[in-house]
Amino acid sequence: MIGRKVAAVLAAGCTCVVKPAEDTPLTALFFAKICERAGVPPGVVNVVPCSRERVEEVGAALCASPRVQVLSFTGSTAVGKVIKRSS
C-alpha cells in the first residue's frame, strides 16, 4: 500500500509524510530506507511513527498543517470520518 501511494507522489516530484499504523511502523521505515538507497534524496519520503497514545495528536497535527496539501488514508471508515472532520 505504501509503495503505490508514494510512487505517485514521487512521480509528481513531491515530498510525502507517511504515518503508518502504530502496530506496524517497521514496514514504512524500511520502505523509506529502500527509497533512500535507490537514490531518493533524504527528506523526500518521511515516516512519522507514533505510539497508540499519541496517534490522535499526531494525526490532528498532520491534518491541521498548512504544509500538508493532500491527504491519502487507508483504514477504517470511523477514522476516515475523524480525518475528514479534522482537515
Q: In 3D, which of 55, 61, 63, 5 has the Cα closest to residue 25?
A: 55
Res 87 pLDDT > 70:
no
pTM confidence score: 0.84
**Is the distance from CB of 30 to CB of 18 less than 8 angstroms?**
no
Which residue matches cell numbers 521505515? 29
pLDDT at residue 83 in the model: 80
H helices, E strands: number in the chain: 4, 2
37-83: pLDDT as tens digits: 999 999 999 999 999 899 888 888 988 899 999 888 888 888 888 78
- The residues spanned by each domain of the chain are 2-86
d(C-alpha 59, C-alpha 46), whole Å? 15
pLDDT at residue 73 in the model: 85
